[in-house]
Amino acid sequence: MEIITERVKTGDGVEAFLARPKDQKAPAVLVHFEIFGVNGHIQDVCRRIASEGYVALAPDYYWRLETRIAPYSDVQAAFALASTLKDEEVLSDVGSCLQHLAAQPFVQAGGIATLGFCMGGRLSFLTAARYSKEISAAISFYGGGLAGENRRAGQTLNPMDEAAKVRSPVLLFYGELDQHITANYVDQFTGRLKELSKGFQSYVYRGAGHGFFCNDRGSYNAEAAGDAWKKALEFLDTNLKGAQAAVR
């Protein structure tokens, strides 16, 4: 399958990286980055999603800044970038991106998925809560802050409080050895979803740490990443392609 990639800008000025199959309409997936920005890894994730028959759009929430990417070797710089973000501003950017996708002739109507890593995993869930009518599936890879823990100044929303608004099924991935998202936080968040009778699946990978999906990081765990990717694709197929096929 031939893939087209390009940098795009929404009508509100939000910049993003887009990857899509050439010459075909496809369901869309919104990809939320880690604190490091829309770097090579996130772009590669978009290409991989596009090669599976989806339109993948990764918004650059740092578009207002001069510096937009931090290397994995400089976590302090990455946190400095992340500290500039405000939930309401980011979710406004998300809305702009959803409108942009809906207006594209190559995007198949009928639902959009949201997927994110770490900080992006939290944003993926908040997107599903804020835009519940538009989002048909939500995926979070080691979403930091889902239980409301360790929020920065701009993170005014607590996903635990927003969870009632989510209508779509949710898929969660965690690493057993994650020092940031410990088992008690996982239990708090999944317990909240159970309390609300939300449809979700949660997987904790034994021996995997934070960032296990990213093959550019020392914490990469090929076995966990491979299994999570397979499950994510099955989830997308069921809730995007499968749902649209049922409608037709």
Whether residue 140 contacts residue 116, with contact meaning beta carbons closer than 8 Å, is answered with yes
- Please state whether 145 falls in left (phi above 0), alpha (psi between -120 and 50) or beta: left
pTM for the full predicted model: 0.96
Whether residue 140 contacts residue 125, with contact meaning beta carbons closer than 8 Å, is answered with yes
Is 100 considered catalytic here?
no
Q: Which residues pair with 228 in a beta bridge?
A: none
- Annotated active-site residue in 97, 118, 161, 237: 118
Over residues 115-144, mean pLDDT: 98
Over residues 69-78, mean pLDDT: 97
pLDDT at 126 over 60: yes
Q: How confident is the model at residue 244 (pLDDT cuts 50, 70, 90)?
A: low
Is 214 considered catalytic here?
no
- Annotated active-site residue in 210, 214, 216, 227: 210
Is 210 considered catalytic here?
yes
- Annotated active-site residue in 178, 180, 216, 237: 178
In this structure, whether the domain defined by 3-247 belongs to CATH 3.40.50.1820 is answered with yes
pLDDT at 243 over 70: no
DSSP character at residue 180: S
